[in-house]
Structure 1
Amino acid sequence: MRAMNREPGMPPKTFSEQQAYWSPDRVRHYYVRFDADGEIAFACPHAMSKFFGGKSGEAAVPVPTHGSDWMRCSLADIVRRAEAIGGARECEATDPDTGEIYMIRVYPDERGYSAFIERTPAPGTLMASAEQMVQSLFEHSPDAVYLLDLKGKYIQVNASAVRLSGYSAAELMRRDFAGLIVPQDLPRVREHFYRAADGAAQSYPVRIIRADGATRNFIVNNFPIYDRGQIVGVYGIAKDVTSEYVTEALLRKSISLLEQSQSIAHIGSWEMNAKSKRMYWSQESFRIFGMPPSRDGHVEHERLLEAVTPEDAKRVLDIWRDGWRNRSFQTECRIIRPNGEERIVFVKGQVNAADSSRMTGIIQDITVLKSTERQLLESEQRSWSIIHHHPDGVCALDMDGTLIGANPSMARLTGYSADELNGQSYSVLLTPPEAERVSREYLNTADGIALQRIDSELLRKDGQVIVVTNTVVPIIVGGQRVGTYVIIKDMTDTLETEELLRKSDKLKVVGQLAAAVAHEIRNPLTALKGFVKLLQTQNADPKLPYLGIIQEELSRIEFISSELLVLAKPQVSRVADVDVREVLEQTIMLLATQAVMNNIEIRHCAADEQAYISGDGNQLKQVFVNLLKNAIEASSPGCSIEVAIERSEGELRIRFADQGCGMPEEMVKRLGEPFYTTKEKGTGLGYMVMRRIIESHHGRLAISSRQGDGTTVEVILPTRLPDQPPQQVPAI
């Protein structure tokens, strides 16, 4: 029976297939094939026997040349006509001996032409055949087929009606259709039934209740049944569409979920037809563009390009055109909604593989995403700026203590470049005694023990060791510690400041002591000096030389008390334009005699031009006298002292360089401490007074000395040109 389902016009290929297909007990058709020259090349066994004089069951080829001439002529004629039009033809032919009528259909194929010959039934048998066909349709239809009387009772049902309803045929015959209908649908179904009974064909959906209680969905078609012109019943065909309804419901749900998902993700879909120049947009695509959805979801493709901002329009158009050539594209652009709001969208498209005239794609509103990215980038830039421009060294370590990043301050602090630091162990920056201790304290931080600072010694690239403070900050990502930030502060300046504060405390004590000493001894000193002077003038005692010694020592005590007063309280300062060169020359003239007496040469390198500063000339002279006197006292006979003035970048440098014994570095560091002196009869107060005077003039002292090579002291003062206003000097 499978051979009977072969497509019309496609004859059997093998001989065994031909025998099965054209068996005498089942075939009403006859088959003849013609070659490309119009000659008969094959005939089925029945055609051989019926028309060409062969025996029943004889092989289909070769076709004998004898036989029925009327069939040969009919076939030859229709083949010629088929060749003339290059297509299929059909015609009727009548057997002159029996009067039988045959329908001949000729179809062209790749080998020539195929002819199908079918005997037309006699007119008297047509009605019986039609009734048999209707009955066959009724019995074997996959849909429920039934007949109802005008009261709605079942008269006849087919097997599919029994199967689909779950009732037997006898049970259905005892019911009317209303017993199977879902109550909510019954009024509507009755209306359709009455209309069909009135002669109007009906088609409608309905839900029925099966015998097992299950509800099924059907599409029902009702037709009136006529007998001698009168409607005697209703003919019904009911197709079970439950699975289609379920599929449609699932499809609707999928579409709804897709629309909700697109709305949540702000992603719309679209399709463009290059032939019609129209696009289909999803609901979310319309929402992204701020437009009301069209009735059928279609828009002209120019609408998308019209919404793009003028700044992006040309670029997007070029990308769009290239996308058709390259079969895909993606881009980001800005669009303007009808209300003027600007949005940022991501558009991606791809040409359909099955139809190159169609492109499918998505459009996503990424405005919020871009805003978040921008905020994140700004946050990263702020964090980077804090680290990059932090005055202290900042480096990042992984969990193994390996450097994975360092800021410029860290590079300056260590002497290594950032590239040299990356990948190094942090231990290379520590002195060996410090490495184990610092590593242990870092581990404590990793274990969650709070630690504010770690003091250590840092080993620079040039070998210099500096004292630093390390602040350890864990790097937390996703709730897990993945590394450590270390903020390293150079403590050199801090320690120096602390040392200065300690010295300042000493100076405060000295100041308080100075005030007390000045108050307690200056008045007695005056009286003592007066009486000694009186004794010298009125007595000729041989012990008078001792009075001179007493006078000198009292003068020395008075001098010391005067210096203490300078430290103890502010002195009146007379600010004026001071030519430092002139003050220095006066100082040299004042101490020249003392230098000659000690066989010491003072070499003065005078400046070529005036060197002005704002200040107190007497205070500066006091500084210069002390420095030159110290140089004379530190020099051996025959040595020389160089005194020079140099101008450099807005500063005056007054240099006093002797060739004396010099001082070790440890002594130089202690200069300025109260009561510390290198002289046998010194007090340690002279240097403090000098430094205070220089600092009040916004200057500084620089001392360099090497034991055995002499000492050089530079007084560095800010210069002022003659046309600049005087700078106020604080009182000392």
Structure 2
Amino acid sequence: MNESNFLIDKEIEIELKKAIEQNQFSLHYQPKLDLRTGELVGVEALIRWNHPRWGMVSPESFIRIAEETGLIIPIGEWVLLAACRQMVNWQHEGFFTVVSVNLSPKQFSNSNIVKTIEEVLQKTGLDPHFLELELTESLKSDMEHTISSLQQLKQLGISISIDDFGTGYSSFNYLKEFPIDTLKIDQSFVKELHHQPNDEAIVKTIISIAHNLNLKVVAEGIETKEQLIFLQQHLCDQGQGYFFSKPMPATELKEKLFDVQQVVNDHGMPEGTRNRIWYEELLNQAKKELEDTVRMQQGMIFKYKKIGGKFVHTLCDGELLYRMGSTPAQVVGKRLDEFLPLEKALNKTAYYQRAWEGEELVHYEDEINGIVYLATLRPIRKGGEIIEVIGSCVDITARKQTEISLRESESRYRLITENMSDILMLLDSLGKILYASPSLGRVLGTPTKSYEEGSLLRLIHPEDRDEVMRRYQQILNKNPSTRMEARFLHANGNWVLIEGIGTPVFGSHGEINHFIIVGRDITDKKRTEEQLAQSEKLAIVGELAAGVAHEIRNPMTSIKGFIQLFQQGIYKPEYFNVIFEEFQRIEDILQEFLNLAKPQPFKSNKSDLKSILQDVVTLLRPEANLKNVQIYHEYDHLLPSIMCDVNQVKQVFINIMRNSMEAMVNEGSIKIVGSLEDKHVLISIIDNGMGISEERLKRLGEPFYSNKEKGTGLGLMLCFRIIRQHNGTITIKSIENKGTTVEVRFPKMHGDGSHASEA
């Protein structure tokens, strides 16, 4: 660029800034007409600059400079706002059309372009469907941003047009990727129509491509009658140019609108000829769309006729055809035996004949190249006679594979259920047996089929039915499963003890449709357990006898010594105190022994754990004060009640807390913590005593094994037994010289008074 041109460009830049500030711009509108009807279909908004000294400045003189300096962005926003306002004004006057606004590449690359357009539409109140944006082919630099922005604009309802198509480096890829509505043929191609065969070929090609992509075509720069007729002959949708009207102000456009809309009828092809050409095109488009629909549908459609006594295919297409490894050319015009093995052809001919004879909906299945399909044949009648048969095919390979898998799965599961030793039953919601595995018949001595369709309760011992119904009610209350034991009647009249787990099967709306019960005969197991328990009891009695003998020997020896002193005539008052203490120790040992060997009857009631613990603390507080032991407590405010024997649970906590106090050397503290833990209520008793070694920790709970110098170990063993009776657990954690934590867990209580562990 030489210096004079630079100065001119710089001056134009300065004046452009003033023009924006002083509102020197205006808009002219060029009509776009439907080349078939001649009616107005839209207007293109074109900027004009009326400079106070230079007069009317051509856009070619300042658009380039506006692009280079970035002034195109505020100018473009002004054009968009002014055009939308004019459209709203026209609509208030009853004039409705679409306005096209050009966006420069620099405007469109602005990350806020969608937001800017949304704000203009909101500010003016224009319906987005009355706005079209014209873009150039140079937008392809950032494909991801371009596609994203165009999609957002399309979602708003705005139309998108590619301007000056064919002048840039046209890429058919963006025609596929961009969500556009219209192609505008550049005026450079239109100008040379009837003079340049290449331009004619290009224009015809662009129109054909657009129509095949379901896009509209607009020709720019129409200036002669010959150009108009050529474009009409080749089915161009719309046109604009000086032959119809030059760009003009908004007020002038309304005045001349009638004359503008007469140009096509006055100078174009006769209306009848135009309509005939367009109807033929519409017919061709409809035929092509039908062919595309048939080709793109997932299945396959075919037709056949009977010609010369043979069935000949007149149509065959669809995605399934290609997946089978064939093409329409291999089928259309051919008989079955010309593209299928003879055996298959003969087999299908029988189905073809049935449909040709008038049978509605003839079905058959076949397999080609690993694809299984279902075909349906239906005759087509005209004047009461069958003129052809149409067939449709769908791929059922996946369905067939699923059916095979289901059959194999059913066979495997049937093999398992028919040979398993466990009992499997399926019940309906009323307890009727819908299915029972053969193992039920083997356990009860009667064929399984005799139980099906009957009630489960009729097989159960009358004394066990109430408990079974209670567990059944737990399942109805949405418990996931429940365990139960019941006696079932054997064919020989005896009772068989069966243990089972019942699990509900829920329907789509959360209702219980069925129950699955998995059980086993535990009659022999129960008998063995009882024998083992008796054996263990005898072993424990042996241990107890040895322990009692050892524990009682010491106080008895002491008493025996004092009696010998009495025989020698030696009496002192303190001797009687010692003898009394030794008798008390013997009594304590025997009482602990009796508590373990002959447990008191278990009486379970709904009880408040906090109250039980408070009673225990009150009972032990004097002893704790004497030993300088502080007792603290911390309870969860949602700590629930439990089902328990209050006296037995108190005994457990008394034993544990006395053990903690005895572990203190001079002073210490005990902390009682009550909390919720999943399905349990957890009571933790934490002391800072001398702790227990890991080796001793493993043996706690054994009879006559104690961590205390004079302990028997029976107290802790009794604690374990009581908590087991309550379906709970005791866990002891300890670190030497730091302290011990005893965790006692009770099952939470259900609304029906049962424990969570019973479910």
Larger radius of gyration: 1
Shorter-chain TM-score tier: 0.3 to 0.5
- TM-score if structure 1 supplies the norm length? 0.36
Structure number with the higher helix fraction is: 2
